[in-house]
């Protein structure tokens, strides 16, 4: 019986000690990110990274000076967007892992596409790269509209607006590149 009393006393002291050390920490508030924000970030970050990787191949593989120039400008824009996209992804607490690895989706430059680009040179490379970058830029516009319409986080919606504007601009530039 004395063991039970002693045990109860220890529990009471521990619990009492916890209660007297100060207020309990506040429960974390609701996240400002909804499923649309999360899905958009999980898709657009790897899409943008892969498209940038493809564009970076142009200096060594492209035949056309115009393609090399457009790809260099495209890669620079994508790099600037990636900094902001990754920061938003990190702010949302999402992992850096690409949850879409191996998926074939509109506008996504896949690992297989990158392998094909690395082995291609000249006019064939130019055609393949331009087709991939054009599809990427067009899909960015579509995805950005979805985030702007249905996203919950104001900063992510603003980022989507900027991503969509860049996608529209890149679409125009790439349409004039032959």
Q: What is the pLDDT of residues 109-142, one digit of tens each?
A: 999 999 999 999 999 999 999 999 999 999 999 9
The answer for residues whose C-beta is within 8 angstroms of residue 36's C-beta and 6 or more apart is: 146, 147, 150, 151, 152
Q: Give pTM, 2 decimals.
A: 0.81
Give, in degrees to the nearest 5, the angle at Cα 39 between 34 and 40: 100
């Amino acid at each position: 019986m004395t063991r039970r009393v002693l045990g109860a006393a220890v529990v009471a002291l521990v619990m009492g000690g916890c209660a007297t050390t100060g207020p309990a920490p506040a429960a974390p508030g609701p996240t400002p990110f909804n499923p649309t924000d999360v899905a958009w970030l999980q898709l657009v970050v790897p899409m943008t990274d892969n498209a940038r990787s493809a564009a970076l191949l142009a200096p060594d593989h492209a035949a056309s000076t115009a393609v090399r120039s457009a790809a260099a400008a495209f890669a620079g824009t994508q790099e600037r967007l990636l900094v902001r996209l990754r920061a938003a992804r990190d702010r949302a607490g999402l992992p850096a892992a690409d949850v879409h690895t191996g998926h074939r989706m509109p506008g996504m430059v896949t690992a297989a596409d990158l392998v094909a680009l690395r082995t291609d040179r000249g006019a064939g490379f130019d055609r393949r790269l331009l087709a991939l970058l054009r599809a990427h830029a067009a899909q960015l516009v579509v995805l950005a509209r979805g985030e702007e319409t249905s996203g919950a986080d104001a900063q992510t919606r603003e980022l989507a607006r900027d991503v969509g504007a860049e996608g529209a601009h890149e679409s125009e530039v790439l349409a004039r590149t032959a």
